[in-house]
Structure formats: structure tokens, C-alpha cells
């Protein structure tokens, strides 16, 4: 379990601000927008998730997303696949059109850098029965 104090002390890029897209998330999450590529095609920022927090199922259209996990422990799941357990140092690639979600474990804060191209389509929340069935 990673406590908030530990994550905050270990957060390289700072905790950011309360997530302005919180309607597409369950639980408390924080965004720190770091930069955009000069061609404006790639956005880079960190997302911090409180224990139990996760985003809704979503799809990146006309692009992709790369996650670089920087702190804590979390989950990544593509529709129809088992959830993948994540910890600092892990790298995740989501290809164009793939329905998926990501977020913290139930007892740990979680932080990743997100490198994003294209535009997201937000879908339904990850049901509690799906999330709570995941084994730490």
C-alpha cells in the first residue's frame, strides 16, 4: 500500500490540480498538465489516483495513449482481457480504438505519466462488482 504522504513526497512532477474531467472518473484524481509537443499532436501530463479511484471505460480515437507508471500500484484493463497489475516502472500502450480503463488499487495511491494522441470517447463507469473482484 502506498499512502498519500509517500506518493506526494515521491511525486517528481508534483500533484497537480483536482481533475477537471472528474465526471468521467470514480474517486479523487489529480491532473498535472506538463506540456504539449510542438506539433500539438501529443499531450503529456501526470494523473494521480486516490486509493480506489479509476477512470471510466474509454477509447482513444485517431491516436493512442502511453502510460509510464511513476508511483504506487494500480490496474489497467482492456475490454475482454484480464486486468494487468501495475507498479512504478511499468509501461502501457493503448492502441487506437481499444476500450479500456486504468486506476489505483483499492488500498494504494497510483500515479502515471500519460502521453496522449487523438481524442478520448468516455463510456460507462467501471462497475464496483468488476473493480472489487480484482485481486491485489
Minimum distance from CB of 75 to a copy of itself (Å)?
18
Site for a copy of itself in 41-60 (CB under 8 A): 42, 44
Q: How many residues bind a copy of itself (CB under 8 A)?
A: 25
Q: What is the 3-state secondary structure (H, E, C) of the chain?
A: CCCHHHHHHHCCCCCCEECCCHHHEECCEEEEEEEECCCCCEEEEEEEECCCCEECCEEEEEEEEEEEEEEEEEEEEECCCCCEEEECCCEEEECCCCCEEEEECCCCCEEEEEEEEEEEEECCCCCHHHHHCCCC
14 binds a copy of itself (CB under 8 A): yes
93 binds a copy of itself (CB under 8 A): yes
Backbone angles phi, psi at 88, to 5 degrees: -50, 135
Judged by CB, which is closer to a copy of itself: 39, or 129?
Answer: 39
119 binds a copy of itself (CB under 8 A): no
The correct pick among 4, 6, 27, 68 for binding a copy of itself (CB under 8 A) is 68
The correct pick among 88, 106, 123, 134 for binding a copy of itself (CB under 8 A) is 88
Judged by CB, which is closer to a copy of itself: 22, or 87?
Answer: 87
Judged by CB, which is closer to a copy of itself: 14, or 18?
Answer: 14
Amino acid at each position: 500500500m502506498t499512502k498519500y504522504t509517500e506518493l506526494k513526497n515521491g511525486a517528481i512532477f508534483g500533484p497537480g490540480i483536482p481533475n477537471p474531467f472528474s465526471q468521467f472518473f470514480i474517486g479523487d484524481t489529480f491532473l498535472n498538465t506538463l506540456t504539449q509537443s510542438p506539433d500539438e499532436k501529443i499531450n503529456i501530463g501526470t494523473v494521480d489516483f486516490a486509493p480506489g479511484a479509476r477512470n471510466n471505460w474509454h477509447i482513444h480515437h485517431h491516436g493512442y495513449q502511453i502510460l509510464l507508471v511513476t508511483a504506487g500500484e494500480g490496474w489497467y484493463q482492456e475490454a475482454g482481457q484480464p486486468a494487468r497489475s501495475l507498479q512504478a516502472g511499468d509501461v502501457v500502450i493503448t492502441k487506437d480504438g481499444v476500450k479500456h480503463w486504468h486506476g489505483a488499487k483499492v488500498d494504494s495511491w497510483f500515479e502515471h505519466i500519460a502521453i496522449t494522441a487523438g481524442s478520448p470517447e468516455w463510456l460507462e463507469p467501471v462497475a464496483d462488482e468488476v473493480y472489487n473482484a480484482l485481486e491485489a
